[in-house]
Amino acid sequence: MALTLPRELETALADLADATGRPGASLAVDLLTEMVPQMHDIAKITRLAKAGQATAAKRAFSHMVGNAMAEAVTASQPDLFTKKRLKK
């Protein structure tokens, strides 16, 4: 797949590549790979919405956002839900 990147994205990848010492193409693949579950979720939500299943689409969207928030919280505070943390 050949991609033409908008200048802003190309600049951001070049900046990140410079900072990390990794090739921009590798960084782009890594970033997209991290997004695979969300891409599947967005495809599901879009199909539901196109099929007129607004309630199911909203439920799927809420589930996707809830999962993302839970991952963000646990990534930023890994001991938040451990027994050690709960005892304090």
In this predicted structure, the answer to whether residue 85 has a pLDDT above a threshold of 80 is no
Q: 31-65 burial by CB neighbour count: b if 16+ within 10 A, else e?
A: eeeeeeeeeebeebbeebeeeeeeeebeebbeebe
Q: Tell me, what's the pLDDT at 87?
A: 53
Q: Tell me, what's the pLDDT at 73?
A: 80
List the domain boundaries for the chain. Answer: 1-34, 35-88
pLDDT tens-digit map of 34-83:
999 989 999 999 999 999 999 999 999 998 888 888 888 877 777 766 66
Q: Do the beta carbons of residue 44 and residue 60 sit within 8 Å? A: yes
**In the structure encoding, which two tokens stand for residue 15, read together?**
């900046």
**In the structure encoding, which two tokens stand for residue 12, read together?**
């951001």
What is the spatial distance between Cα 48 and Cα 84, in angstroms, rounded to a whole number? 42
Task: Give the global pTM.
Answer: 0.66
